[in-house]
Amino acid sequence: MGDLTLVTGAGGFIGGHLVKDLLAKGRPVRAVDIKPKSEWHQVFADADNRIADLREADACAQAVAGTAHVYNLAADMGGMGFIESHKAACMLSVLINTHLLQASVAAGVERYFYGSSACVYAAEHQTSPDVIPLREEDAYPAMPEDGYGWEKLFSERMCRHFTEDFGLDTRVARYHNVYGPFGTFDGGREKAPAAICRKVAEAEILDRPEIEIWGDGKQTRSFTYIDDCIFGTEAIMDSDLAEPVNLGSATLVTIDDLVSIVEEIAGVSLARRYKPDAPTGVRGRNSDNTKLKAALGGWEPSTALRDGLEVTYRWVRDEVRAQRALAVG
């Protein structure tokens, strides 16, 4: 329990929650992110908080020094609108994983976790809203999301080969649409749950009874609450799962369903204005948790979507109100 743990991307959404949980369990944590601390979603005084560009090898060597465990969550990424228009930027995140793996081998790190994505899956398996849940082997033959998905899949393979060639014990989780409070909800990098929560909050606060929805609203996804993501991340890190594994909810909903749930939480009913030419990604995506449950004693993400969205919406609404108060005052 006294071993120092490195969390990269600690100023981000998942990273901030992970640092919080590890500290609560008495684990010493080094938290590293490229952003100024004023832009971190959460900052904890008990952590060794550092600002560094982990695309640089020297920065990775300094970040890893003295650590026993590494959680690599650092990446240049965002929602579908961002990753479809920033393919090169997303792919450059491969420098982070490359240099962190090298530094981890040199420093004698005991175990290394890589946060991958369901975007590694081939589009041919995701053409229908009634999608068959994706099994880990469906990532091959490879044809992932262009840019971001290719970087994630390549980095997964690097983890595998660093285990084979250098003996570095690695773990890989493929995250499926993680959402919750203390994340990005505006500015272009936000994902669907946060974006919808913000739009509904703006409609509620401004008494503007309409909402813009990207696509036709019939595309489907499963959404994983942050608490489940953090529990699963740590459990996978501590498990014997040597191959990439899904970490996501298996509850499939349409984007229209998602909007309806947030409307119910907010107590509003909004006219829906669809934007069919907006970036929407694949038509349907869901997580097959067979391997996850087998490895973790039957556990899988189980937070009800409405329960997670209620917490998320109330946090986003408070943030929107605070932003408006600053703008007016």
Q: Euclidean distance between the first and final Cα of the chain, in Å?
A: 47
At 113, phi and psi to the nearest 5?
-110, 135
DSSP string, 76-143: S--SHHHHHH-HHHHHTTHHHHHHHHHHHHHHT-SEEEEEEEGGGS-GGG--STTPPPBPGGGG-S--
Please give the order of strands across the beta sheet that includes 111-117: 48-51, 29-33, 5-8, 69-72, 111-117, 169-175, 245-247
CA 34, 82, 160, 239: dihedral to nearest 10 degrees? 80
Strand partners, 8: 32, 72
- Among residues 53, 35, 306, which one has the least CA distance to residue 187? 35
Please state, in angstroms and rounded to a whole number, the distance separating the CA atoms of residues 168 and 257.
Answer: 43
Catalytic site residue 148? yes
Among residues 112, 114, 148, 175, which one is catalytic? 148
Tokens linked to 322: 């605070």
Read off the amino acid at residue 249.
S
Tokens linked to 316: 């986003």
**Pair type for strands 169-175 and 178-179:** unpaired
CA 223, 227, 230, 231: dihedral to nearest 10 degrees? -110
Please state, in angstroms and rounded to a whole number, the distance separating the CA atoms of residues 296 and 123.
Answer: 28
- Residues annotated catalytic, as ranges: 148
